Structure 1
Amino acid sequence: MSLAQRRILLGVSGGIAAYKSCELVRRLRDLGAEVRVVMTENAAHFVSATTFQALSGQPVRSSLWDAEAEAAMGHIELARWAERIIIAPASADLIARLAHGMANDLLTTVCLASAAPLYVAPAMNQQMWAHPAVQANVDTLRQRGVHLLGPASGDQACGDIGSGRMLEPLELREAMVASFGVQELRGLKVVVSAGPTYEDIDPVRFIGNRSSGRMGFAVAEAAAQAGAEVTLVAGPVSIATPPGIARRIDVRSAAQMRDAVVTASAGADIYIAAAAVGDYRPAEVADHKLKKSDGAPLELRLTENPDILVTLAAQTVRPFLVGFAAETHDVERYAQDKLKRKGLDMIAANQVGGGLGFEAADNALTLYGPEGAIELPRASKTELARQLVAKVAERYRAVRG
């Protein structure tokens, strides 16, 4: 790995995780990067500018009102100098100000004035991270092409446990290296399915599942960042299209998803089946709302839905197939069975229920294929998706060149 002569601007906002940013500067410089640091006023309450100056070997900037620097339009100079901007830690306040296009301090002003790719590493209390306002701001940044790094899950300085920890310095350095490196999926066409499917009972009711679609959307975004031309087939979810997606197709039922995936996969190199497709649908759909009948039970007759992966696996010319297995128990046994029975190239298995998998901000996966099992430890779905896509690309190249 090398970052020789790469110009990286590190923004540091207020938060206890700012102490990790000191190590990040050192780790970036270990690989030859030139690092300049911009601190917010609040960041100085946690780490001194002197520390960052000693580690980076460069003066630290924190104010738009530095007369000497701004005499030469210093913020514009910084904005033009940077090849990458990474903000670590990024507080809830800073994320909000970035999302609303504010330029009320040096760091936000530089971000607006720079054409460099922007990477944001959130760090905050788990309840703050889960707040709808923060998530809305994060979604806004994603739509604008900002790269979110983390957060991770675990023990927090406040005593809570959950998602909101800043990624470790080495993880952030790897993201910077990857941002300059070869894109593993460049030139390939990838189809990703995400979210649940809904099967109508009548015009009012349906059968569905608890998939939020966030893992699948994160996979689609990671594939796009890896250089792929991505088609995203999405079930009924309320998630903005990630940046870099070539095409999004919205569907509702399993049959609609099958038709969309089969059509999109014609000529595709890889299909990643991250959607939670319903196994069954009502055999008959009422054309009017079904009414209660004096306490009598309502019986539904279900019929099996078409299997998308089996359909694709049976084709003479087929994409590299990656399945998902979300199980509540005996995860390995069911995943291995699905891998063989459906003729897949790889399968990503995870435990669901009890706060894992569906409706959770993070996840953990075990990948199964001919090379054996690969553990991807619990992390944010964004980080996990990046690791998954890297493994898929590695295996695809090994098999198909």
Structure 2
Amino acid sequence: MSILKDKNILLGITAGIAAYKSASLVRLFIKAGANVKVVMTPASKEFITPLTLSTLSKNPVYSSFIDEADDNQVWNNHVELGLWADLFVIAPATANTMSKMANGVCDNILLATYLSAKCDVYFAPAMDLDMYKHASTKATFNKLTTFGNKLIPAGTGELASGLVGEGRMAEPEDIISFIEQDILQQLPLIGKRVLITAGPTYEALDPVRFIGNHSSGKMGFEIANAAANLGAEVILVTGPTHQKLQNESVCIKPVISAEDMYNEVHAHFKTSDIAILSAAVADYRPKTIASQKIKKNDATFTIELEKTKDILKSLGHIKSNQFLVGFALETNNELDHAIGKLEAKNLDLIVLNSLQDKGAGFGGSTNKVTFITHNKHIIEHKLKSKAEVAQDLMQQIIKQLHA
């Protein structure tokens, strides 16, 4: 899955022959899962039609502040366009437009949008060899990059004039790759391996019955999505659940029992940088498992249970440089029990939720948590969606890692 999935990308097109490549660029952004809107300089319409671009992007194309053909003449709000965008990509970027960008000239909707944008701006120059090599063009490049704009280098090849050299706009595939790599390098967990557990475990009584709990796995799945979106390589060890992942890069390892989860987690822990154990693992399991379905004969039925292995505690004993996070679901003396678990299991952070809090716990889409750090610093959070809790958790981990 591309890092561009669900990003709002504003594509700016200026008046260069390379504008014909912009159609392919729109298609590639859409294929990557992005939402695309196009803003054009008026002169660029001589090179590619707004109809082509609106058809491909499935959005209106903006080339003026008002639509003069419309009697109502609704204003095209460049400020809203700039704020909508997660990324603003200007490709092709002509010498004329780049010079205006560098000097604050604002004589069309593309330039007005550029001056309003709060997001990262990428520009892909396209011009002839002598123009590209000119000292004023190089000065423009330098000025734009000092503003924080990102230059996508032009390629070398045959140009419109017949000359061969630098100035050819980067190919659409290369523009996509450049942006993806740039975004990835900015992500705080790039290069980190995160191990996450989620869901319940099922402890078999016989071939058809089991002991389990009400965990849906939603919290763990949201944590996996949040970690992957921050650039981490994520391994998700999950018990039985119907949850689906949004980020397809996560590697899922399905398990059934506490013993299965113990073995799978230990297989990946040594090579992990961060481990977040949010699964609701059974504390006990049947001491014996019937080989045949147990018949309903007696008025009462007794099951002898034995303890399962404590996965979190076992990791706390063997961890070296790993950052270890546990969860505590409590019903009374919540803080005392959570701090005791933090210390006993050698954790760096524990996430406490109480069943006394409305909207917290199993099954729902919300959670109310308190973070307790290794030095007993307590951070309380209000009731939030589990997706927001997952983001808060990842930010807390990043903060502690860089403390």
Give the alignment's TM-score, normalised by structure 1: 0.56
Q: Using the TM superposition, give the Cα deviation of residue 378 of structure 1 relative to its aligned residue in structure 2, in angstroms.
A: 1.2
The 1:244/1:85 distance shift into structure 2, 3 A limit, reads farther
Give distance in 2, aligned partners of 1:318 and 1:379: 31
Alignment partner of 1:314: what SS? helix
Alignment partner of 1:191: what SS? strand
Residue 394 of structure 1, aligned match among 376, 396, 399: 399
User: Which residue in 2 is equivalent to 1:305?
Assistant: 308
Q: Deviations over 1:178-213 (max 9, x none)?
A: x89932211111000000001001111110000000
The 1:338/1:83 distance shift into structure 2, 3 A limit, reads farther
Q: Using the TM superposition, give the Cα deviation of residue 320 of structure 1 relative to its aligned residue in structure 2, in angstroms.
A: 1.1
Residue 317 of structure 1, aligned match among 312, 320, 335: 320
Q: Deviations over 1:68-95 (max 9, x none)?
A: x9546445478799999779xxxxxxxx
Q: How do residues 306-345 of structure 1 correspond to structure 2 at under 5 angstroms?
A: 306-315=309-318, 317=320, 319-345=322-348
User: Which residue in 1 is equivalent to 2:260?
Assistant: 256
Give distance in 2, aligned partners of 1:254 and 1:357: 20
The 1:77/1:195 distance shift into structure 2, 3 A limit, reads closer
User: Which residue in 2 is equivalent to 1:359?
Assistant: 363
Give distance in 2, aligned partners of 1:246 and 1:260: 16
Q: Deviations over 1:6-42 (max 9, x none)?
A: 9866xxxxxxxxxxxxxxxxxxxxxxxxxx999xxxx
User: Which residue in 2 is equivalent to 1:196?
Assistant: 200
The one-letter code sitting in structure 1 at the alignment partner of 2:255 is V
Give distance in 1, aligned partners of 2:340 and 2:314: 17
Q: Deviations over 1:208-262 (max 9, x none)?
A: 0000000000001100011110000010011223414342100000010010001
Is the contact between residue 232 and residue 245 of structure 1 (CA under 8 Å) also seen in structure 2?
no
Alignment partner of 1:275: what SS? coil
Of structures 1 and 2, the larger Rg is shown by 2
User: Which residue in 2 is equivalent to 1:272?
Assistant: 276
Residue 296 of structure 2, aligned match among 263, 268, 292: 292
Q: Does 1:385 align with 2:390?
A: yes
Give the alignment's TM-score, normalised by structure 2: 0.56
Is the contact between residue 184 and residue 190 of structure 2 (CA under 8 Å) also seen in structure 1?
no
Give distance in 2, aligned partners of 1:206 and 1:196: 12
Is the contact between residue 241 and residue 248 of structure 1 (CA under 8 Å) also seen in structure 2?
no
Give distance in 2, aligned partners of 1:397 and 1:299: 52
User: Which residue in 1 is equivalent to 2:210?
Assistant: 206
The 1:388/1:70 distance shift into structure 2, 3 A limit, reads same
The 1:70/1:228 distance shift into structure 2, 3 A limit, reads same
Give distance in 1, aligned partners of 2:321 and 2:285: 27
Alignment partner of 1:383: what SS? helix
Is the contact between residue 365 and residue 375 of structure 1 (CA under 8 Å) also seen in structure 2?
yes
Bigger Cα displacement from structure 2, 212-221 vs 72-81: 72-81
Is the contact between residue 221 and residue 245 of structure 1 (CA under 8 Å) also seen in structure 2?
no
Is the contact between residue 313 and residue 346 of structure 2 (CA under 8 Å) also seen in structure 1?
yes
Give distance in 2, aligned partners of 1:207 and 1:7: 46
Q: How do residues 136-215 of structure 1 correspond to structure 2 at under 5 angstroms?
A: 182-215=186-219
Give the superposed CA RMSD.
3.4
The 1:326/1:245 distance shift into structure 2, 3 A limit, reads farther
Give distance in 2, aligned partners of 1:294 and 1:372: 53
Q: Deviations over 1:114-154 (max 9, x none)?
A: xxxxxxxxxxxxxxxxxxxxxxxxxxxxxxxxxxxxxxxxx
Alignment partner of 1:377: what SS? coil
The 1:286/1:206 distance shift into structure 2, 3 A limit, reads same
Q: Deviations over 1:367-400 (max 9, x none)?
A: 00116011222111111101111111111232xx
Q: How do residues 69-88 of structure 1 correspond to structure 2 at under 5 angstroms?
A: 70-71=50-51, 73-74=53-54, 76=56
The one-letter code sitting in structure 1 at the alignment partner of 2:393 is L
Is the contact between residue 193 and residue 274 of structure 1 (CA under 8 Å) also seen in structure 2?
yes
User: Which residue in 1 is equivalent to 2:380?
Assistant: 375
Give distance in 1, aligned partners of 2:82 and 2:193: 28
Is the contact between residue 342 and residue 348 of structure 2 (CA under 8 Å) also seen in structure 1?
yes
The 1:323/1:294 distance shift into structure 2, 3 A limit, reads closer
Is the contact between residue 220 and residue 242 of structure 1 (CA under 8 Å) also seen in structure 2?
no
Is the contact between residue 234 and residue 249 of structure 1 (CA under 8 Å) also seen in structure 2?
yes
User: Which residue in 2 is equivalent to 1:64?
Assistant: none
Give distance in 2, aligned partners of 1:86 and 1:279: 48
The 1:191/1:180 distance shift into structure 2, 3 A limit, reads closer
The 1:229/1:84 distance shift into structure 2, 3 A limit, reads farther
Alignment partner of 1:340: what SS? helix
Alignment partner of 1:281: what SS? strand
Give distance in 1, aligned partners of 2:82 and 2:268: 35
The 1:294/1:387 distance shift into structure 2, 3 A limit, reads closer
Give distance in 2, aligned partners of 1:84 and 1:262: 45
Unpaired stretches in structure 1, ≥5 consecutive residues: 1-5, 10-35, 39-57, 60-68, 88-178
Unpaired stretches in structure 2, ≥5 consecutive residues: 1-6, 11-35, 41-48, 63-80, 87-182
Give distance in 1, aligned partners of 2:285 and 2:383: 33
Give distance in 2, aligned partners of 1:201 and 1:257: 18
Alignment partner of 1:241: what SS? coil
Give distance in 2, aligned partners of 1:386 and 1:258: 26
The one-letter code sitting in structure 2 at the alignment partner of 1:226 is L
Residue 222 of structure 1, aligned match among 218, 226, 241: 226
